[in-house]
């Protein structure tokens, strides 16, 4: 059974959009993107060895069709892969447009206000769909945060389910099928992790795997502990079993996910540490790259660095969000480390025998952040020389402790700080990327350009590289690429033997 997959899967689309945006800003001039769909066996995408094993209860479409749109982080992307697998295994068929679907689902993000607003405006667009007999559901963080209020704000919604209740989705769907008008799943007091027999993976080479759900940290600005519930780690034997299955199916890269992935605490008697788990995943035959995100600085212990040093299949990239360069602001954020303690972690990573790429997240305009505290963040960028950065304007979120602090910094000032921060980081990346010209990297090829003989992929250190090759089919393969040029956002090169 072959499924025609347009590589407009969310991530592919995102990569193209960001390339286009960067090109507009004059930063990158490569117009990369998949020019044509390609065919992949459905069994590979579902992570099952055969179609009948994946869908034992009957033909696809038996129960109707579903459209699933995802907003937010990689964990949301992966939750959607599991929700899609769950629905496929119950006889639903996935379709590419809401118009073609009987069930329309939005997996949502509420990390910043803008993200939540986007969800409600998208829901508004589908108001009239309910009258056409379609069932509309909201999943994820906005569902958890707004709860039954969603029914008041968008009465055409029938299903509201937070991520901590996904294991109840089959039961909720059954109630809808039985004629219930409204169903909710909003518990967070669960110790369950969301494991599904079938996962419909979007990417045929790199598999996401959530190893820890929820969060027990209490950063004062963050909704995640409220929307995703308390920290729950998945059993190490179950994780390793899935990695072995993935390797047998041809996946060569796995990315272990968690809001604080390195706080992993194996619930089994084996009590595997996160570093041991990394090594065990890298030992699975067929796995060539192990990634993990996001690491919390306070739990980034020397044994994790030792594992990275010992095992080259564990990627040379650590995403270590700092949020601010000011110890005073970090304390107000309840980040549990000071600037100096964070810099000790950076020194540990920089001390490794092989160079490790370091990336981060930063928030500007946290309540009370003074100009000189903001400058401490700029000086931290200079000191650490990050390879890349995600940066955000502080956004007050419901239930969070920082909501009661006066959000005294105007939007205009937050925008000014953000622009200065991003300019500084762009300069750092522009200067540093030039040093890679002439170097050779192993690249996992993930995209083909519309332009003849142009491809794109990622190095182990997660640097994007656009490169030329005369080969006809490279998707999903590992090739050697020599860097011939650099932009602030990536590298340019050509395939070499
Ligand atoms: N767990 C990760 C950590 O500890 O860094 C981050 C998870 S969060 C989904 C991703 C990023 O969103 C955070 O690192 C932070 O920079 C940003 N973020 C979270 N809450 C925010 C808020 N209220 N306003 C602005 N940015 C926020
Ligand atoms: Fe949010 Fe902090 Fe938990 Fe990250 S560690 S998810 S920022 S509360």
DSSP character string of 125-189? HTGGGGGGT-EEEEEEHHHHHHTTHHHHH-TT--EEE-GGGGGGHHHHHHHHHTT-S-EEE----
Answer yes or no: are the C-beta atoms of 212 and 236 closer than 8 Å.
no
Has residue 55 got a pLDDT over 80? Answer: no
pLDDT value at residue 54? 54
Closest-lying ligand to the alpha carbon of 321? 1
Q: Whose CA is nearest to atom 5 of ligand 2?
A: 217
Could you tell me which residues are beta bridge partners of residue 218?
A: none
In 3D, which of 39, 407, 81, 414 has the Cα closest to residue 255? 81
Residue 15 pLDDT class (50, 70, 90 cuts):
very low
Pocket probe mutation, ligand 1, options 358, 363, 400, max atoms within 8 Å of Cβ: 363
Has residue 133 got a pLDDT over 90? Answer: no
Answer yes or no: are the C-beta atoms of 185 and 158 closer than 8 Å.
no
Q: What angle do CA 475, 476, 477 make, to 5 degrees?
A: 95
Q: Is residue 320 lining ligand 2, measured as CB closer than 6 Å?
A: no
Pocket probe mutation, ligand 1, options 75, 78, 222, 263, max atoms within 8 Å of Cβ: 222
Closest-lying ligand to the alpha carbon of 399? 1
* 334 Cα: distance to centroid of ligand 2 (angstroms): 10
* This prediction's pTM: 0.90
Ligand 1 binding site (Cβ under 6 Å of any ligand atom): 73, 111-112, 221-222, 224, 259-260, 294, 296, 321, 323, 361, 363, 392, 394-395, 397
Residue 46 pLDDT class (50, 70, 90 cuts):
low
Q: What is the mean pLDDT of the chain?
A: 87
Any residues with CB less than 8 A from the CB of 485 and at least 6 apart, and which? 437, 491, 492, 493
Q: Whose CA is nearest to atom 2 of ligand 2?
A: 219
Q: What angle do CA 239, 192, 246 make, to 5 degrees?
A: 20
* 112 Cα: distance to centroid of ligand 1 (angstroms): 8
Ligand 1 atom with minimal separation from the 217 CA: 4
Residue 190 pLDDT class (50, 70, 90 cuts):
confident
* 285 Cα: distance to centroid of ligand 1 (angstroms): 35
In 3D, which of 168, 179, 173, 170 has the Cα closest to residue 144? 168
Answer yes or no: are the C-beta atoms of 356 and 398 closer than 8 Å.
no
* 454 Cα: distance to centroid of ligand 1 (angstroms): 35
- CA-CA distance, 147 to 124, in Å (whole number)? 17
Phi-psi category of 109—alpha, beta or left, where left has phi over 0 and alpha has psi -120 to 50?
beta
Has residue 9 got a pLDDT over 50? Answer: no
Residue 8 pLDDT class (50, 70, 90 cuts):
very low
Residue 60 pLDDT class (50, 70, 90 cuts):
low
Q: Whose CA is nearest to atom 5 of ligand 1?
A: 321
* 353 Cα: distance to centroid of ligand 1 (angstroms): 30
pLDDT value at residue 242? 95
- Mean pLDDT, range 407-428, rounded to an integer: 96
In 3D, which of 376, 494, 463, 354 has the Cα closest to residue 424? 376
* 445 Cα: distance to centroid of ligand 2 (angstroms): 32
- CA-CA distance, 363 to 253, in Å (whole number)? 30
* 258 Cα: distance to centroid of ligand 1 (angstroms): 13
Q: Is residue 259 lining ligand 2, measured as CB closer than 6 Å?
A: yes
Please state the separation of Cα 60 from the chain's center in Å. 28
pLDDT value at residue 48? 58
* 259 Cα: distance to centroid of ligand 2 (angstroms): 6
Has residue 207 got a pLDDT over 80? Answer: yes
Closest-lying ligand to the alpha carbon of 75? 1
Ligand 1 atom with minimal separation from the 259 CA: 1
Closest-lying ligand to the alpha carbon of 397? 1
């Amino acid at each position: 059974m072959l499924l025609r997959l347009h590589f407009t899967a969310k991530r592919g689309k995102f990569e193209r959009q960001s390339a286009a945006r960067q090109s507009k800003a004059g930063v990158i001039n490569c117009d990369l993107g998949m020019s044509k769909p390609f065919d992949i066996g459905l069994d590979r995408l579902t992570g099952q060895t055969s179609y009948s094993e994946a869908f034992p209860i009957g033909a696809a479409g038996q129960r109707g069709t579903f459209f699933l749109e995802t907003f937010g982080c990689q964990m949301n992307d992966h939750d959607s892969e599991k929700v899609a697998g769950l629905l496929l295994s119950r006889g639903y068929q996935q379709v590419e447009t809401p118009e073609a679907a009987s069930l329309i689902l939005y997996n949502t993000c509420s990390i910043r206000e803008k993200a939540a607003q986007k969800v409600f405006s998208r829901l508004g667009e589908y108001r009239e769909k309910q009258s056409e007999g379609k069932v509309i559901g909201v999943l994820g963080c906005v569902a958890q945060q707004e709860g039954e209020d969603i029914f008041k704000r968008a009465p055409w919604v029938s299903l509201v389910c937070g991520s901590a209740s996904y294991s109840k989705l089959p039961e909720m769907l059954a109630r809808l099928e039985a004629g219930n008008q409204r169903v909710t799943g909003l518990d967070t007091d669960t110790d369950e992790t969301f494991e599904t027999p079938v996962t419909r993976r979007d990417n045929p080479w790199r598999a996401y795997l959530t190893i820890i759900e929820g969060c027990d940290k209490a950063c004062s600005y963050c909704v995640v502990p409220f929307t995703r519930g308390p920290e729950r780690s998945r059993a190490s034997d179950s994780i390793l079993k899935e990695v072995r299955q993935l390797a047998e199916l041809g996946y060569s890269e796995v990315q272990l996910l968690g809001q604080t992935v390195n706080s992993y605490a194996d619930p089994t008697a084996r009590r595997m540490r996160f570093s041991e788990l990394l090594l065990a995943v890298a030992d699975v035959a067929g796995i060539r790259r192990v990634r993990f995100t996001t690491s919390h600085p306070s739990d980034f212990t020397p044994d994790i660095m030792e594992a990275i040093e010992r095992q080259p299949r564990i990627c040379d990239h650590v995403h270590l969000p700092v949020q601010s360069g000011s110890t005073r602001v970090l304390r107000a954020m309840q980040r549990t480390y000071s600037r100096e303690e964070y810099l000790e972690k950076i020194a540990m990573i920089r001390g490794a025998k092989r160079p490790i790429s370091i990336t981060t997240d930063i928030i500007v305009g946290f309540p009370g952040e003074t100009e000189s505290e903001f400058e401490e963040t700029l000086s931290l960028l200079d000191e650490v020389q990050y390879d890349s950065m995600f940066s955000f304007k502080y956004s007050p979120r419901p239930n969070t402790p920082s909501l009661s602090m006066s959000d005294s910094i105007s939007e205009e000032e937050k925008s000014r700080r953000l622009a200065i921060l991003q300019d500084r980081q762009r300069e750092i990346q522009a200067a540093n990327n030039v040093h890679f010209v002439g170097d050779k990297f192993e690249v996992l090829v993930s995209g083909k350009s519309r332009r003849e003989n142009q491809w794109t992929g990622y190095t182990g250190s997660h640097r994007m590289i656009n490169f030329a090759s005369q080969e006809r089919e490279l998707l999903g393969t590992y090739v050697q690429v020599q860097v011939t040029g650099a932009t602030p956002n990536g590298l340019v090169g050509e395939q070499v033997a």
